[in-house]
Amino acid sequence: MSITTLADKINDANAKGRTALIPFLPGGYPTKEVFWKEILELDANGADIIEIGMPFSDPVADGPVVEAASMKCLDAGVNLKWIIEGLAEVRPQINAGIVLMGYYNPVLQYGLEKFAKDANAAGVNGLIIADLPFEEGVDFRDLLAENEVALVPLVGLNTEPERMKLYANGGNGFCYFVSVLGTTGDRDSLPEEIKVGLKHAKEIFDIPVALGFGLKHPSQLEQLEGLVDAAVFGSALIRHIDEGKSSAEFMKVWT
Amino acid sequence: MKRGYYGDFGGQFVPELLMPPLLELEEAMGKILKSAEFQQEYTSLLKNFVGRPTALTHCQNLSRELGFNLWLKREDLAHTGAHKINNTVGQALLTKMMGKPKMLAETGAGQHGVATATAAALLDLECDIYMGATDVKRQSHNVRRMELFGAKCIPVHSGTQTLKDAINAALRQWIANQRTTHYCFGTAAGPHPFPLLVREFQSIIGREAKQQFKERTGEMPYMVVACVGGGSNAIGMFHEFVNEKSVKIVGVEAAGTGKPGCTNSAPINLGTPGVLHGMNTLLLQTDDGQILPSHSIAAGLDYPGVGPEHVHLHDTGRAEFGMVNDSQAINAFQMLCQKEGILPALESSHALAWAIENKDIIPKDANVIVNLSGRGDKDMDILDDYLAQHGK
Ligand SMILES: Cc1ncc(COP(=O)(O)O)c(C=O)c1O
């Protein structure tokens, strides 16, 4: 594994003429018992990268679906140790890249150094921290990079090119472009202005650009040809699983 | 470059999507707050609408009983009955001058919600208030007041359904509506520049108190005391005195029932460092970094975090932070009613109770100013419930 694993995964998919697929599930969802089976199923059915949520009591960047799912996991006793240890066990069977996504405080309490080392040892390729903007995160980014883990930058519709450049300089993994001025949760349509933002991101970042928040169907990407290297979907997948359906079936629509 | 630190505490731990409005706010503060237009308008509103300066009352009866001179800074006499209005009138005016038509805010007990709705009505701004569903039920009277002022009060059903979840909901809404909306944060906490902005508007409390006390006695007080929820009334009282080295500064946190291991609202005394609501501060949390529910009989103190500047004042030893439990606060509440004819908020009763409980370590005849941050009409039901439960 290396710091370029995530970019490589996305580039590989793009080389085959596909948008890379990045499903998201909160760690321990829908239950601790079946969670790793779901991950293996996502991996076997076309996921290029899998995002595992690190549940937090106060998820300010999340909409109601992800929040409720995360709370359920917390109630079941999921913590970072459970996720990292479980991942270390199944990682050899997973082909996709692995990203952990969550909030800063649980990682801080785990210990930044210990986290960087343990995450790397468990086969984590990248980390997304929703509440860690450039100014607060740059030191941690360097610490993670020393451990072959990418701190994935998040930008959005209101991120001016000047701020994108801050993230792009030394940024690694992929650029996560947030499709809406809002929280996670699927939406029927994406805002028009998204094209302008994506174009800036594509120009400014050397790493691939993934679009996330608000995605529920591949048709939403049709108008964004050439601007999106990867697609992240979470709420729509959670909802699908809540209806008792399989992740394999969900992935079919996208592959 | 990191911004907004008080020693190791503070900062801006928010989604990138909130950085532009925070930077915009910081820039607007730099331009607008010092302008003659803002200063004139704000000063006039404080005087003619809020009713400032608020009185500084020397409590003759209690002073005799306690053995030191007890003074109260009477924020209970400000419009809407608490210090919260100093901040909301300032932020509403700033919102107006930033050209935004709308404010949103969180509220716990509803005091900040009412004060925000009040300022919004006065300055013709739209206003949405997020309030935990549990609090909506507990404080229906304040919900009604907000609605009378034309604000929309939106119940928050996520998480623990209290203040911390109302802040999460307000932050989410601000992400979505930042172009038209200012987030009128209710206390000296949250991401930079809110701790600074709220201190700016609340420090009138300490400035007035210092001047009034000097006019009356020609001296500096021995000590100033204030209750600490998020920390706005306290920093408002303390700021003017931080550089007056002879003045002791005491913040008072809520210890809940006070039993060992009980749910409390005392992160400086009982919490650990961590990040919540955009700031690095002291928090009530588990070893895994999950935020714990807080408790206090005073709804306005019921918060698992605290403003970063207080943590710094504690770290550097400039201020001392004590704790007062529910029953001590109730005792102080009743005492002030009976001896002085003043009905304090349960929050403010914590500050008063600290002075009462510590009367033996306060020198005889020393002058102690307690910030009476609000009036207690809102707390009558809670008082009655407490007394009924404790068989009094
Ligand atoms: C009367 C009164 N005092 C104190 C507080 C606590 O807030 P802060 O610590 O920001 O002053 C509140 C909060 O609602 C309040 O209503």
User: Which CATH code, of 1.10.1510.10, 3.40.50.720, 3.40.50.1100, 3.40.640.10, is assigned to B7-46+84-198?
Assistant: 3.40.50.1100
pLDDT tens by residue, B44-100? 999 999 999 999 999 999 999 999 999 999 999 999 999 999 999 999 999 999 999
Task: Return the residue whose CA atom lies nearest to atom 6 of ligand 1.
Answer: B229
Half-sphere exposure of B86 (CA within 13 A, CB side): 30
Residue nearest to atom 12 of ligand 1 (CA): B300
ipTM above 0.90, yes or no: yes
Residue A56 to residue B290, Cβ atoms within 8 A: yes
Q: Which atom of ligand 1 is nearest to the CA of B234?
A: 11
Q: Do B12 and A79 touch (CB under 8 A)?
A: no
Which residue bears the tokens 């801080």?
A108
What pLDDT score was predicted for residue B363? 98
Distance B373 CA to ligand 1 centre (A): 7
- Which residue of chain A has the CA closest to B2? A135
Residues flanking ligand 1, CB < 6 Å: B 82, 84, 108-109, 111-112, 187, 227-234, 300-301, 345, 347-348, 373-374
Is residue B105 over pLDDT 90? Answer: yes
A218: confidence class by pLDDT, cuts 50, 70, 90: confident
pLDDT in tens, B7-49: 999 999 999 999 999 999 999 999 999 999 999 999 999 999 9
Q: Which atom of ligand 1 is nearest to the CA of B233?
A: 11
Nearest CA to ligand 1 atom 10: B232
Q: What is the pLDDT of residues A25-61, one digit of tens each?
A: 999 999 999 999 999 999 999 999 999 999 999 999 9
Predicted pLDDT of residue A182:
86
Q: What is the DSSP string of B266-309?
A: -HHHH-EEEEETEEEEEE-B-TTSPBPP---SSGGG--S---HH
pLDDT score of B109: 85
**Predicted confidence band at B380 (pLDDT cuts at 50, 70, 90)?**
very high
With respect to CATH, is domain B51-81+203-389 assigned 3.90.1150.10?
no
Tens digits of residue pLDDT in A195-205: 999 999 999 99
pLDDT digits (tens, 9 = 90+) for B340-368: 999 999 999 999 999 999 999 999 999 99
B131 Cβ contact partners less than 8 Å away, ≥ 6 residues apart: B106, B107, B108, B110, B113, B139, B143, B153, B154, B155, B156, B166
Confidence (pLDDT) at A1: 67
Give bridge partners of residue B289 from the DSSP assignment: none
Q: What is the tens place of the pLDDT at every residue in B236-287?
A: 999 999 999 999 999 999 999 988 888 999 999 999 999 999 999 999 999 9
Query: With an 8 Å Cβ cutoff, is A136 touching chain B?
Result: yes
**pLDDT recorded at residue A183:** 87
Residue A89 has pLDDT above 80, yes or no: yes
> Which of A58, A108, A182 shows the shortest C-beta gap to B159?
A58
Burial of B94 per CB tally in 10 Å (0-12, 13-18, 19+): buried
CB pair distance less than 8 Å for B277 and A58: yes
Task: Say whether A163 and B13 touch across the interface (CB within 8 A).
Answer: no
Task: Report residue B328's pLDDT band, with 50, 70 and 90 as the boundaries.
Answer: very high
B290 touches chain A (CB under 8 A): yes
Q: Do B14 and A79 touch (CB under 8 A)?
A: no
Residue A186 has pLDDT above 80, yes or no: no
pLDDT of residue B340: 98
* Whole-number percent of chain B with pLDDT over 70: 100
For chain A, say whether B176 makes contact (Cβ under 8 Å). yes
User: Is any Cβ of chain B less than 8 angstroms from the Cβ of A133?
Assistant: yes
C-alpha torsion sign, points B300, B301, B302, B306: positive
Position B227 scores a pLDDT of 98
Q: Would you place residue B289 in the very low, low, confident or very high pLDDT band (cuts 50, 70, 90)?
A: very high
**Has residue B338 got a pLDDT over 90?**
yes
Question: In whole numbers, what is the pLDDT of chain A averaged over residues?
Answer: 95
Which of B2, B176, B276 has its CB closest to that of A105? B276
Interface check for B276 against chain A (CB to CB < 8 A): the answer is yes
Work out the minimum CA distance from A131 to partner chain B, whole angstroms: 4
Q: Do B289 and A74 touch (CB under 8 A)?
A: no
State the pTM of this model.
0.97
Q: How far is B349 from chain A (nearest CA, A)?
A: 30
**CA of B136 vs chain A CAs: smallest distance (Å):** 20
Q: What's CA B202's distance to the chain center, in Å?
A: 9
State mean pLDDT over A97-118.
Answer: 98
CA end-to-end span of chain B:
56
Pairing of strands B248-254, B272-276: unpaired
Kindly list the residues from chain A whose CB atom is less than 8 angstroms away from the CB atom of residue B285: 105, 109
Q: Indicate if B51-81+203-389 has the same CATH topology as B7-46+84-198.
A: yes
A161 touches chain B (CB under 8 A): no
Tell me how close the Cα of A58 comes to any Cα of chain B, in angstroms. Answer: 7
Pick the CATH number of A5-254 from 3.40.50.150, 3.20.20.70, 3.30.70.660, 3.30.1330.20: 3.20.20.70
Tell me the pLDDT tens digit for each residue of B166-223.
999 999 999 999 999 999 999 999 999 999 999 999 999 999 999 999 999 999 999 9
Residue B139 has pLDDT above 90, yes or no: no
Nearest CA to ligand 1 atom 7: B229
Q: Where are the domains of chain B?
A: 7-46+84-198, 51-81+203-389
Whole-number Å distance, alpha carbon B221 to ligand 1 midpoint, is: 23
DSSP chain A: --TTHHHHHHHHHHHTT--EEEEEEETT-S-HHHHHHHHHHHHHTT-SEEEEE---S--TT--HHHHHHHHHHHHTT--HHHHHHHHHHHGGG--SEEEEEE-HHHHHHH-HHHHHHHHHHHT--EEEETT--HHHHHHHHHHHHHTT-EE--EEETT--HHHHHHHHTT--S-EEEE-SSS-SS--SS--TTHHHHHHHHHHH-SS-EEEESS---GGGGGGGTTT-SEEEE-HHHHHHHHTT--HHHHHHHH-
Strands A49-53 and A20-26: parallel
Number of Cβ within 10 Å of residue B156's Cβ equals 25
Q: Indicate which residues of A carry an active-site annotation.
A: 51, 62
pLDDT higher than 80, residue A3: yes
d(C-alpha B352, C-alpha B233), whole Å: 14
Among residues B58, B79, B83, B262, the one annotated as catalytic is B83
